[in-house]
Amino acid sequence: MREFFNRFRLIKSGDKELVLQLEHLLGFTPRHLVFYKLALMHKSTPEDATDSNERLEFLGDAILGALIAEYLFKKYPNQPEGYLTELRSRLVRRETMNNVALRMGLNKMVRYNQNDRGLNRSHIFGNALEALIGAVYLDRGFDTTRTFILNQMIKAYINLDEMESTDTNYKNQLLSWAQRQNKTISFDTLEEKSDGSRKLFTVGVLLDNQVAATGTGYSKKEAGQVAAQKALETINATGGTAAE
**Active-site residue numbers?**
61, 130
* Res 119: pLDDT: 61
* Res 94: pLDDT: 83
* Res 196: pLDDT: 64
Delineate the domains of the chain, giving CATH numbers in brackets: 2-165 (1.10.1520.10), 170-237 (3.30.160.20)
Split at pLDDT 50, 70, 90, the class of 178 is: confident
pLDDT digits (tens, 9 = 90+) for 7-51: 656 666 667 888 889 999 999 989 999 999 999 998 877 555 557
* Res 49: pLDDT: 52
Residues present in the chain in total = 244
Asked whether residue 2 carries a pLDDT value surpassing 70, the answer given is no
Return the higher-pLDDT residue of 232 and 197: 232
Return the higher-pLDDT residue of 236 and 61: 61
The residue type of 207 is L
* Res 199: pLDDT: 80
Distance between CA 214 and CA 223 in Å, rounded?
8
Calculate mean pLDDT across residues 239-243.
55
pTM: 0.69
